[in-house]
Amino acid sequence: MRFSGKKAVVTGGTHGMGLAVVRALLDGGAEVLATGRDVSGLDIPGAHLLSSDAASLTDIDSLAAVAEDKLGTLDLVFLNVGFATLTPYAEATPEIYDRTFDVNAKGAYFTAQRLSGLVRPGGSLVFTTSVAAGAGIAGMGPYSAAKAAVRSFALTYAAELAPRGIRVNVVSPGYTDTPTMGVTGVPDEVLAAFKETGDEVTPLKRHATVAEVAAAVLFLAFEATFTTGADLPVDGGLGQRLTLPA
């Protein structure tokens, strides 16, 4: 029961890597509040669930109120909500741009603002960004820029919350096997091709499991007690400028 007595909020905790973190926390004895856009009909045994759109400031305020009511003080806020579209620049619309920034960047910024007051000294925030934040990946313009903004927000939060003894770090996954691979609105065959490309371009020649990302998140959250402002890649070397043997 390595997380016994710990309390955590996980945004985007209903599937994918967020759910892996929720399950690991619950298995370790933590109390967890997890969000998704619509949790009706979902059951994650032992977890508190809340429907909450990360792009809605009203929903973020409600999330803070429910977190305070159900959990009181927090040891971890995992700001994990995010999505990408595969949109070449010529097909991008203001609507795609706005929604991408509203969910990924604005949502993360204001969720951290509204929830950080509940985090106790010694607790931490972990943001999910992406290997895309520091790369040029065709079709991922707004997403990559929004995740780069999240990386920047995390640095500022690390500075602003340090005096309260709260650490703030970032996990940057590469291609990771989740129901969406982080991408919405594409047919199954496009998603399969996306995944295949990931396996080809990643130096370790495979994608990550959600357990591998969750391990990094939990390390940053509970074990890396002198680490703040850091960005931990879980990308199989994809973002690390490796040159493989010929």
Ligand X SMILES: NC(=O)c1ccc[n+]([C@@H]2O[C@H](COP(=O)([O-])OP(=O)(O)OC[C@H]3O[C@@H](n4cnc5c(N)ncnc54)[C@H](OP(=O)(O)O)[C@@H]3O)[C@@H](O)[C@H]2O)c1
The length of the chain, given as a count of residues: 246
Q: Which is nearer to ligand X, 4 or 187 (CB)?
A: 187
Known active-site residue 109: no
Question: How many Cβ atoms are within 10 Å of 241's Cβ, its own excluded?
Answer: 7
Residues 102-131 that bind ligand X (CB under 6 A): 103, 128, 130
Q: Does 153 bind ligand X (CB under 6 A)?
A: no
130 in Cβ contact with 154 (< 8 Å): no
Q: Which is nearer to ligand X, 38 or 98 (CB)?
A: 38
71 in Cβ contact with 9 (< 8 Å): yes
Q: Which token pair is 110? A: 């204001």
Convert residues 33-72 into a mask of x (bound to ligand X by CB under 6 A) and - (unbound).
--xxxx-------------xxxx-----------------
Q: Which is nearer to ligand X, 73 or 180 (CB)?
A: 180
Q: Does 233 bind ligand X (CB under 6 A)?
A: no
Question: Three-state SS string across 89-158, please?
Answer: HHHCCHHHHHHHHHHHHHHHHHHHHHHHHHEEEEEEEEEECCHHHHCCCCCEHHHHHHHHHHHHHHHHHH
CB-neighbour burial class of residue 210 (10 A; exposed 0-12, middle 13-18, buried 19+): buried
Q: How far is the CB of 81 from ligand X (least distance, A)?
A: 4
Q: How far is the CB of 91 from ligand X (least distance, A)?
A: 20
Residues 165-204 that bind ligand X (CB under 6 A): 173, 175-176, 178-182
Convert residues 213-232 into a mask of x (bound to ligand X by CB under 6 A) and - (unbound).
--------------------
Active-site residues, by number, are 143
